[in-house]
């Protein structure tokens, strides 16, 4: 297993368009997280899955954001009607115990 992988690595989109990101966690990890990191800040928690169940969502996750983890494997994060304020690095992490492993992130630029 090569770790947590995210696709795409970079995405440039026009304001108002929808975008979808994918995360493939480490295969035996039952927990999956999405974080958002803006320039000069640490990552901020967005949402958490245990297996296929989405158990927690941050207030940062507006109704334009939706995440899924069908069958408890890969996860997708969709942002509808993107805004310039959505420009950030979106990080996915997975864990089996207290140690989270991060992917390289998807850098979103909204123009």
Partner 1 sequence: AQTVTQSQPEMSVQEAETVTLSCTYDTSESDYYLFWYKQPPSRQMILVIRQEAYKQQNATENRFSVNFQKAAKSFSLKISDSQLGDAAMYFCALEYSGAGSYQLTFGKGTKLSVIP
Residues 54-93 touching partner 1, rule: CB under 8 A, are 55-56, 91, 93
Q: Nearer to partner 1 by C-beta: 25 or 43? A: 43
- CB of residue 45 vs partner 1: minimum separation in angstroms? 4
Q: Does 30 bind partner 1 (CB under 8 A)?
A: no
**SS3 for the chain, per residue?**
CCCCEEECCEEEECCCCCEEEEEECCCCCCEEEEEEECCCCCCEEEEEEECCEEEEECCCCCCCEEEECHHHCCEEEEECCCCHHHCEEEEEEEECCCCEEECCCEEEEEC
Q: Does 32 bind partner 1 (CB under 8 A)?
A: no
- How wide is the angle at C-alpha 75 spanned by C-alphas 56 and 24, nearest 5°? 125
Q: Does 8 bind partner 1 (CB under 8 A)?
A: no
Among 75, 82, 95, 106, binds partner 1 (CB under 8 A): 95
- CB of residue 43 vs partner 1: minimum separation in angstroms? 5
Provide the binding-site residues for partner 1, judged by CB under 8 A: 3-4, 31, 33, 35, 40-45, 48, 55-56, 91, 93, 95, 98-105
């Amino acid at each position: 297993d090569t770790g947590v992988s995210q696709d795409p690595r970079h995405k440039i989109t026009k304001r108002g368009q929808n975008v979808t990101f994918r995360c493939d966690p480490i295969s035996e990890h039952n927990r999956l997280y999405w974080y958002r990191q803006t320039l000069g800040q640490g990552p901020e928690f967005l949402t958490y899955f245990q297996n296929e169940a989405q158990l927690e969502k941050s207030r940062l996750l507006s109704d334009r954001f939706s995440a899924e983890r069908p069958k408890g494997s890969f996860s997708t994060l969709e942002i509808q009607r993107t805004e310039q304020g959505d420009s950030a690095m979106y990080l996915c992490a997975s864990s089996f115990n207290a140690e989270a492993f991060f992917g390289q992130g998807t850098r979103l630029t909204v123009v």
